[in-house]
């Protein structure tokens, strides 16, 4: 009938076959896109999960919810804080105060009679430690001129360092450099602080000039430290980024337990490392992370930083399902056990060979399993973890050198501590405006770090520098 709905046409076999092929292709495409999305999500999740505990990110980037770091130190069982016998720094009464003020009692607390002239039965001492009023101490040097009978006039020679009618003394220069380079105030805040605290008017330009003069006077010190580091048996090396003139530059560091050398360079690689002048012909042991440019120095022996690889392994272990064995966790536990074994060994004695072999075998087995599990390298994240496992196998000798040579530390944390002040300066006062200023700042930081390692106070060392005779280590 004309009012009935039209009967839909039945697709032919060829049309159904074409539709199945089209849908199969679409399903394959969607599956491929899903796998790419999953891989990308895994990469982003790993990136978001990075903290100072499982990567090389600084602790300041963790935010308020900072995770507890995984330390290589062995627990001692002692409570936190000062231990018994520690001298402490509590205020104590001094025997010879600058001022004594006697306070008389009022009338008798019993009968109300006057106590004037009555004998003193006891004296209770109370002392207040305070700063004197800070004001400039001005010394005037009068250069007398006298006339001889022959008519010649001769004027006195000014003392060394007195070169102008009006100038700042060495302690003012030392204070300015201390606040600017030692406490990381900006030039403007340094000038303001000195003006308000001690009444000495300074400009930001004057502070910059004082810092530049101090850095220039450190050439002899820097040369001596560079030579000492180049001849050392073990040297730590590291680098970190620094914003200079609005661009990324690199601060390079070489150090030992007694000396620190820091410099800034536009390049991160071998050009910047060579400019520091320590590793070019170095023949000792370099402690560093696994960054490739350090391996180009083939005259040296290498110790790869265990702390760095522990953070990498921690990042792998964090993504493993709870309660499931993970190769990265076993590798990390083996490395920690090896470090404790080495630190517990006394000087001049060898590490226990049986325990060394056991933990080394655990490390090696875990790394080989990691290589097997990540061998497909189907994603960027899996490829990175495969490279980590391969590095543990290929560079095992360099990772475990500290177990054979007890002079060598297992980590490069000392170097990170030395250059951390550079990052702190950037955090407090922002980037430096010129490369020259950055290199001057690094030179002064090298001086302050080295003098501190030798038990010399930073301000005292800067006063010596401002007086024209900086502290310079002896080269034997």
Q: What is the tens place of the pLDDT at every residue in 115-166?
A: 998 999 999 999 999 988 888 999 999 999 999 999 999 999 999 889 999 9
What is the extent of the structural domain holding 188? 170-219+458-466
Compute CA distances 83 → 9, 86, 121, 239, 337, whole Å. Answer: 92, 6, 39, 35, 27
Place of tokens 């661009």: 247
Find the mean pLDDT for residues 387-398: 96
Residue 69 has pLDDT above 80, yes or no: no
Say yes or no: 311 and 403 in one domain: yes
Domain contains 250: no
- pLDDT at residue number 321: 86
pLDDT tier, 351 (very low <50, low <70, confident <90, very high otherwise): confident
Identify the H or E element spanning 239.
strand 234-244
Find the mean pLDDT for residues 434-460: 96
Average model confidence (pLDDT) across the chain? 89
Domain contains 243: no
Burial of 279 (0-12, 13-18, 19+ CB in 10 A): buried
Contact 235, 252 (CB under 8 A): no
The share of the chain scoring above pLDDT 90, in percent, equals: 67
pLDDT tier, 347 (very low <50, low <70, confident <90, very high otherwise): low
Say yes or no: 396 and 462 in one domain: no
Residue 37 has pLDDT above 90, yes or no: no
Residue 376 has pLDDT above 80, yes or no: yes
What does DSSP assign to residue 79?
A: P
Domain contains 37: no
Find the mean pLDDT for residues 428-452: 92
Contact 360, 353 (CB under 8 A): no
Residue 246 has pLDDT above 70, yes or no: yes
- 384-391 LR contacts (CB < 8 Å, sep 24+): 385/316, 385/328, 388/309, 388/312, 388/313, 388/316, 389/327, 391/290, 391/309
- Where does 319-412 have alpha helices with state H? 327-343, 353-373, 380-394, 396-399, 401-404
Q: Which of 374, 394, 411 is the last residue of a domain?
A: 411
Q: What is the pTM of this model?
A: 0.82
The C-alpha angle with vertex 317 and arms to 312 and 320, in degrees rounded to 5, equals: 140
Pairing verdict, β 301-304 and 285-288: parallel
Find the mean pLDDT for residues 347-373: 92
Least reliable range by pLDDT among 82-86, 216-220, 430-434 = 82-86
Say yes or no: 384 and 462 in one domain: no
- pLDDT at residue number 293: 96
d(CA 342, CA 261): 28
Domain contains 83: no
Domain contains 28: no
Domain contains 116: no
> Total domain count for the chain?
2
- pLDDT at residue number 2: 60
Find the mean pLDDT for residues 249-272: 96
- pLDDT at residue number 375: 92
- For residue 249, the cross-strand partners are 242
d(CA 294, CA 259): 20
Burial of 331 (0-12, 13-18, 19+ CB in 10 A): buried
Domain contains 23: no
Say yes or no: 386 and 324 in one domain: yes
Say yes or no: 328 and 404 in one domain: yes
d(CA 170, CA 210): 10
Domain contains 272: no
């Amino acid at each position: 009938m004309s009012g009935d709905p039209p009967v839909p046409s039945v697709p032919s076999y060829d049309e159904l076959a074409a539709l199945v092929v089209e849908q199969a292709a679409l399903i394959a495409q969607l599956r491929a896109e899903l796998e790419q999305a999953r891989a990308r999500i895994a990469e982003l999740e790993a990136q978001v999960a990075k903290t100072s505990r499982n990567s090389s990110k600084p602790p300041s980037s963790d935010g308020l919810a900072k995770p507890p770091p995984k330390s290589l130190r062995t627990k001692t069982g002692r409570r936190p804080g000062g231990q018994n016998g520690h001298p402490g720094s509590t205020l104590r009464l001094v025997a010879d105060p600058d001022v004594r003020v006697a306070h008389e009692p009022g009338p008798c607390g019993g009968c109300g009679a006057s106590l004037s002239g009555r004998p003193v039965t006891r004296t209770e001492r109370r002392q207040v430690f305070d700063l004197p009023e800070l004001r400039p101490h001005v010394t005037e040097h009068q250069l007398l001129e006298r006339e001889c009978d022959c008519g010649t006039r001769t004027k006195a020679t000014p003392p060394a360092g007195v070169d102008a009618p009006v100038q700042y003394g060495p302690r003012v220069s030392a204070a300015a450099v201390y606040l600017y380079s030692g406490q990381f105030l900006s030039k403007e805040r340094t000038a303001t602080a000195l003006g308000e605290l001690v009444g000495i008017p300074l400009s930001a330009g004057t502070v910059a000039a004082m810092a530049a003069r101090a850095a220039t006077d450190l050439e002899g010190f820097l040369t001596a430290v560079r030579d000492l580091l180049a001849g050392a048996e073990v040297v730590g090396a590291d680098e970190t980024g620094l914003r200079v003139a609005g661009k990324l530059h690199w601060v390079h560091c070489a150090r030992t337990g007694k000396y620190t050398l820091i410099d800034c360079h536009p390049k991160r690689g071998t050009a910047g490392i060579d400019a520091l002048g320590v590793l070019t012909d170095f023949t000792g042991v370099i402690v560093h992370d696994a960054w490739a440019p350090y391996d180009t120095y083939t005259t040296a022996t290498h110790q790869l930083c265990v702390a760095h690889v522990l953070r990498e392994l921690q990042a792998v272990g964090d993504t493993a399902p709870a309660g499931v064995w993970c190769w990265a966790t076993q590798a990390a536990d083996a490395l920690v056990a090896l470090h404790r074994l080495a630190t517990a060994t006394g000087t001049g004695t060898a590490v226990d060979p049986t325990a060394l072999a056991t933990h080394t075998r655990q490390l090696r087995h875990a790394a080989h399993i990691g290589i097997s599990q990540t061998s497909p390298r189907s994603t960027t994240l899996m490829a990175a973890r495969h490279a980590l496992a391969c590095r543990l196998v290929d560079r095992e000798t360099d990772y475990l050198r500290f177990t054979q040579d007890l002079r060598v530390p297992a980590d490069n944390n000392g170097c990170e501590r030395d250059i951390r002040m550079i990052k702190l300066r950037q955090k407090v006062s922002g980037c430096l405006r010129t490369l020259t200023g950055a290199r001057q700042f690094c030179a002064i930081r090298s001086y302050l770090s080295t003098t501190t390692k030798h038990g010399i106070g930073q301000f005292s060392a800067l006063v010596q520098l401002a007086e024209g005779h900086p502290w310079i280590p002896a080269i034997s």
